[in-house]
Amino acid sequence: MFREGIGEGTFTGYHPWVNLTYYIFAVGLTILTLSPWFLAATFVMAWMYSLLLRGREVVKINLILSLWIFVIMGALNLFFSHEGVTVLCYIGDNAITAEALAYGISAGIMLVSVILWFSSFNVIMSAEKLIFIFGRALPVLGLTLSMVFRYVPLLKQRFADIRMGQACLAKAEKPGYLQKVRQFGREVSILISWSLESSIESADSMEARGYGLPGRTSFHLYRFTGRDGRMLAAMILLGGFTAACLIGGTAKVQFYPEHIVPAFDPMTGAALACYCLLLALPILIDIHGELRWRRFDSAM
Amino acid sequence: METIRFSNVTFSYPLAEAPALREVDFSAQPSEFIVVCGKSGCGKTTLLRHMKKNLVPYGRFEGSVTYDGEDIQKLDDRRSASEIGFVQQDPDNQIVTDKVWHEMAFGLESLGVDPQTIRRRVAEMASFFDIQTWFRKDVSQLSGGQKQMLNLASIMVMQPKLLILDEPTSQLDPIAAGDFFRTIHRINRELGITVIISEHRLEDVFAMADKVCVMDQGRILVCDAPERIGAFLTGETEADRHPMFYGLPSVTKIFHGAGARGKAPLTVREGRLWLEETVQAAKERAAGPAAEEKTESAAADQEEKAAPAVIRAKDLWFRYDKKSQDVLRDLQLEVRKGEWMAVLGGNGVGKSTMLKVICGMIKPQRGSLTEEGRIVMLPQNPKALFTEIEVEDELLEVLHGSSLSDEEKVRRVTEMMKLLGIDHLSHSHPYDLSGGEEQRLALGKVLLLDPDILLLDEPTKGLDPFFKVTLAGILRKLCQQGQTILMVSHDIEFCAEYVDRCAMFFDGGITSVGEAKEFFRGNHFYTTTANRIARDHFPDAITWEEVAACVRPLI
């Protein structure tokens, strides 16, 4: 249905604070527990959201990433941690235990989930939103970030110009390895002096427009609406409840010396339900939004 | 009260031998449109920078500069920032932030305006400048013309009373430059903002100006209505002409070149009306054939040059990647040995791509390309070539690794500097050179490689009219030595005056090609201003000098 991914869906349109809160909860709660129920929930949801936004192009890279981290984490823990009572076998004098394996797998899933959350984070939290958020905390940081995002493409362009210019001058014979290094050094040196030179003009332009006067304000295009408020409230409620339960000791898993998964009591069930709902919110919103567009398109 | 007043200002940069401004007296009334022109290095930029507090250069200063009756230096920072706007040459370097909307808000943020007001003012300006469609774009996605328009808009949101522009269109192509000038004109006419602009390209701004100031060696020679400037610069005889005369718009040059007196026409329309009147008057006087005889001069020297082709491109096709469109489609081109050929055409149609293909930097997907001799290309931006800290070293660097003796290298470099007229700058830093000098140095680097074929990408961009004449002389000399020149350009007037053959690039290929005179005679719109003015009466006259020569006997 969404083979190419929906890209920036409906959830992106919410206020940056809402987007950020979602990720704080998604990643924060993932780190908070090693309970298999919760890990399964976050792992599945992170996969789903990443897939929904970015489509099949992301399947391969996600799979490779998941598998490797999983294997490495599992193996590392298996071979370097020798605690636990259920010994599977011995390698030399070292015990390989089932508990270490269980811990390695759990931690691996946790790490993979966090990385997968960032895969969708990249789509949702554009540079513009990050600038806004940092700008709220520290206006200078916001502006600096904005300037960085301005200069990176500019420098790239300039470097391409320089390469091209230098290629025009290229001597006839094929350059050796040493000459190539020299040439690269020369190009970088041009880039630096050119950029330093032009930064004087940029500084003039900033000052000419009053930069440095006291009482600078910071402008943005985001508006916090009722929709954002309701969403934020729902997230804080769901996330807060889950966090409180987890911190309070619900579904606390013990690995050493013995792997003990507590029974699935009603409290765990409630917390898990809240957690799943929280994580699924943007997915539901995006799918709903997508379906609405399709209805709209077919009605036209 | 005057918006800006200079009283007897003399200014010298530290360590400079001659002052950059000498006894300048100058004033601008509210809502005036003033154009400042003059050779590069005549003090235009220094003059303009004295009008904005934070840009005033460091050096020895005498006299006084006042804004609205108040000394510029004592002006309140906040007031100076918002009421005096300054647009610089380079579109890229002035942009600070990554988004169009943020750039527009930047000045107001600095002034501490509350977000609600910023929202409103930005919206107003975005509508005035018609930038709604790219309001949320990244600035890196904009074209040069859009960038400069954004720079202007981000100053206009601060609601300035005085707008100063320092050669704002030198990096733009003619179409973007025209748009930019029209916007400036609107700002002046519709909002009543005082505009002071320095410019080389007088063709467009001359008719908009209330006053034109001509500067020379730090002095203001004359500051008068544009209709009277021509008469002042023409002088009594041809030798008496001020060099700035050659920078005037073609209409004015024709008018004065033909020896007419009175109020000079400023636009093509006025020029055509004046010519019509003159021709009619002459006909009535003579009541016989007067003008139509004049055709022999243009058709005279038409000797066939059958030199062999050194570049032969046949059926070239190129696109940057599989999904994009063809940039070159079925391109045919032949350049003969020892000739100077120009390819003209619109913006972003693939002219530069064509040069890259010929230069061998990119491979065409289809077609054949044969070249004889060593090809070297001069890139658009000379800065991309400079690595050393002195002009002389910069040129020597090219010969690094060649088998010549040291004395021979130095001899060649010295010769090259003489040829290009930059020998007095041999110990300057390349970045301290003016635009025209940078261009010359870059050309020198390329020429030291001793190419057989020279490719030039927009060599006249940002050059003042006098250096264009010098450049034409240098290039002509190269052709006489048997080197071949192929250039792409927007500069119709330059091509018409100096180039051997011109070709029109359109839709990925060459659509028409011919001897320069022939080529422009065949075009109706894409031709020189002089030709557009005079084509009804003198269809063979392409350059202003030819038109002026045709008109002179009628007056």
Interface contact flag, B92 A169, Cβ < 8 Å: no
Tally of CB atoms within 10 A around A9: 23
In this structure, chain B runs to a length of 555
pLDDT digits 0-9 by tens, A173-203 = 667 888 889 889 989 999 999 999 899 999 9
- B116 touching A (Cβ < 8 Å): no
Q: What ipTM, to 2 d.p.?
A: 0.86
What is the rounded CA–CA span in Å between residue B538 and residue B547?
7
Tokens describing residue A62: 């996600």
Which of B306, B305, B347, B355 lies closest to B331, judged by CA?
B355
Q: Calculate how close chain A gets to B402, using CA atoms only, in Å.
A: 10
B residues 27-56 near A, CB within 8 Å?
A: 52, 54-55
Report how far residue B445's alpha carbon sits from residue B438's, in angstroms, rounded to the nearest whole number: 11
CA atoms within 13 A on the CB side of B204: 18
Say how far apart CA A155 and CA A149 lie, in whole Å: 10
Structural contact between residues A39 and A113, judged by C-beta atoms closer than 8 angstroms: yes
Reduced to 3 states (helix: H, G, I; strand: E, B; else coil), residue B264 is coil
Residues of chain B contacting residue A203, judged by C-beta atoms under 8 Å apart: none
Residue range A66-83: mean pLDDT, rounded: 87
Q: Judge contact between B321 and B479, C-beta under 8 A.
A: no
Q: Residue B293: what pLDDT?
A: 46
Torsions phi, psi of B397, nearest 5?
Answer: -55, -35
For the stretch B453-484, pLDDT in tens is 999 988 888 788 888 888 899 899 889 988 99
Residue A205 confidence (pLDDT): 94
d(CA A222, CA A216): 18
- Average pLDDT on B439-443 reads 88
Choose the weakest-confidence range: A267-276, A291-300, B121-130, B184-193: A291-300
Q: Which residue has the tokens 């202007």?
A: B152
User: Chain B within 8 Å of A216 (Cβ-Cβ)?
Assistant: yes
pLDDT tens digits, B344-380 = 987 778 888 899 899 888 889 999 998 888 888 888 8
Q: 3-state class of B331 per DSSP?
A: strand
Can you read off the two tokens belonging to residue A75? 């193996």
Q: What confidence category does residue A171 fall into, taking pLDDT thresholds of 50, 70 and 90?
A: low
The torsion angles phi and psi of B10, rounded to 5 degrees, stand at: -125, 135
HEC assignment per residue over B223-252: EECHHHHHHHHHCCCCCCCCHHHHHCCHHH
Q: What is the pLDDT of residue B41?
A: 78
In the stretch 171-200 of chain A, residues with CB closer than 8 A to chain B read 171-172, 186, 189-190, 193-194, 197-199
3-state secondary structure A229-281: HHHHHHHHHHHHHHHHHHHCCCCCCECCCCCECCCCCHHHHHHHHHHHHHHHH
Pairwise CB contact (< 8 Å): A217 & B118: yes
The pLDDT, as a whole number, for residue B163 is 96
pLDDT at B108: 95
Q: Do B110 and A127 touch (CB under 8 A)?
A: no
Is B448 exposed, middle or buried, given 0-12, 13-18 or 19+ CB atoms closer than 10 A?
A: buried
Taking each helix axis from N to C end, the angle separating A98-124 and A36-54, rounded to the nearest 10 degrees, works out to 30
Q: Which of B108, B387, B449 sits opposite A190 (nearest CB)?
A: B387
Question: Which class for A178: exposed (0-12), middle (13-18), buried (19 or more C-beta within 10 A)?
Answer: exposed
Reply yes or no: is the peptide bond before residue B553 cis, omega within 30 of 0: no
Q: What is the pLDDT of residue B422?
A: 84
Summarised one tens digit per residue, pLDDT across range B48-104 is 999 999 899 999 999 999 999 999 999 999 999 999 999 998 899 999 999 999 999
Three-class SS state of B158: coil
Q: Which of residues 70-109 of A touch B (CB under 8 A)?
A: none
For an interface test with A, the pick among B83, B165, B383 (most A C-beta atoms closer than 10 Å) comes out as B383
Cβ-defined contact of A215 to B112 (cutoff 8 Å) = yes
Best A144, A158, A168 residue to mutate vs chain B (most B CBs within 10 Å): A168
Write out chain B residues lying below 8 Å of A12, CB-based.
none
Give the full edge-to-edge strand order of the sheet including B60-67.
B21-28, B4-12, B60-67, B70-71
Chain B residues in contact with A143 by the CB 8 A cut-off are 97
Binding-face residues of A in 131-150 toward B, CB within 8 A: 131, 143, 146-147, 149-150
Q: Which residue of A has its CA nearest to B447?
A: A169
Contact A213 B113 (CB under 8 A): no
A192 to chain B, closest Cα gap in Å: 10
The reported pLDDT for the residue numbered B431 is: 86
Residues A109-144 have pLDDT tens digits of 999 999 999 999 988 988 889 889 988 888 888 889
Res A150 pLDDT > 50: yes
Put simply, the chain B residues between 370 and 409 with a CB less than 8 A from any chain A CB are 374, 376-379, 381, 383-387, 398, 401
Q: Would an 8 Å CB–CB cutoff place B278 in contact with chain A?
A: no
Considering only CB atoms, A150 lies closest to which of B52, B86, B139, namely B139
Check residue A159 and give its pLDDT.
94
Q: Which residues of A touch B151 (CB under 8 A)?
A: 205
